[in-house]
Amino acid sequence: MRPRAPRGVLPGALGLALCCLCGALGPWRSGDHGWKKLIMVHHWPTTVCKEIENACSDPPDYWTIHGLWPDKSEECNRSWHFNLEEIKDLLPDMKIYWPDVTHPPNHSHFWKHEWEKHGTCAAQLDVLNSQKKYFGKSLDLYKELSLNSMLQKLGIKPSINYYQISDIKDALASVYGVIPKVQCLPPRQGEEVQTIGQIELCLTKDLQLRNCTEHGEPRSRRWGDAWPARATDEGPGLEVCEDGPAFYPPPKETNH
């Protein structure tokens, strides 16, 4: 049983304690921003361009980084603004592996969004507690996971033929030892199947791979970022893929 503070002492003591706590929390004093896992999010540029109904200008023909997201936590410190100078040493790799595929000349706006929405929360970990660490470690993880080459080795390549989502998940699980999350655009009018757009691999706070969904955990249909606003409001956005066939679109537009 906790001892009862003498009357008249509690308000002052509580105020002092809260003051100390706020100072200790530093960047995260604006509320409870607890999270349990990190999500390494890869997206397929061809589908990005389709989702926002943007022709895009020569998008990459390989999976690129969408972000490194703590689950269930966003915008943990709105005063910790993005500073491009802090990651200038990373820019050559950032432009290749973490491009803004919809606005290629202006990558920094995308990076600013990712830092301020997700990076400020990930920074609770010492290994990610600066902009250079956050973006640098994200690049390291992207290279270590090597999703592009893994898909190639598994024989999963962009094609006008359809894949079964369960086959893709099982194949990736056989390589990584954990169950990934695959997200799709639902079929639009005149389309037969969903379109693969995003693959997520999840990590513990120790940056070890883990399943993206625990047994018994409800399936979350959407989380994280939407891509920039679509040219129109027609059609649903990205969702967790339904079991069944899916289109993995080749970089050049193919009717299906």
**E strand or H helix that includes residue 194:** strand 194-203
- Active-site residue flag, 43: no
Closest CA to 148 of 54, 218, 60: 60
Please identify which residue in the block is written with the tokens 């432009």: 95
Q: Give CA–CA dist 104/192, Å, rounded.
A: 31
From 33, 42, 43, 118, active-site residue: 118
CB 184 within 8 A of CB 239: yes
List all residues 6 or more positions away from 202 whose beta carbon is below 8 Å from its beta carbon.
37, 38, 39, 40, 71, 178, 180, 181, 209, 210, 211, 212
Q: How many CB atoms lie within 10 A of CB 115?
A: 22
Q: Give CA–CA dist 128/131, Å, rounded.
A: 7
Q: Give CA–CA dist 109/107, Å, rounded.
A: 6
- Active-site residue flag, 114: yes
From 66, 86, 200, 217, active-site residue: 66
CB 137 within 8 A of CB 206: no
Q: Give CA–CA dist 139/49, Å, rounded.
A: 22
List all residues 6 or more positions away from 244 whose beta carbon is below 8 Å from its beta carbon.
164, 165, 193, 194
From 114, 192, 239, 253, active-site residue: 114
Residues forming the active site: 66, 114, 118
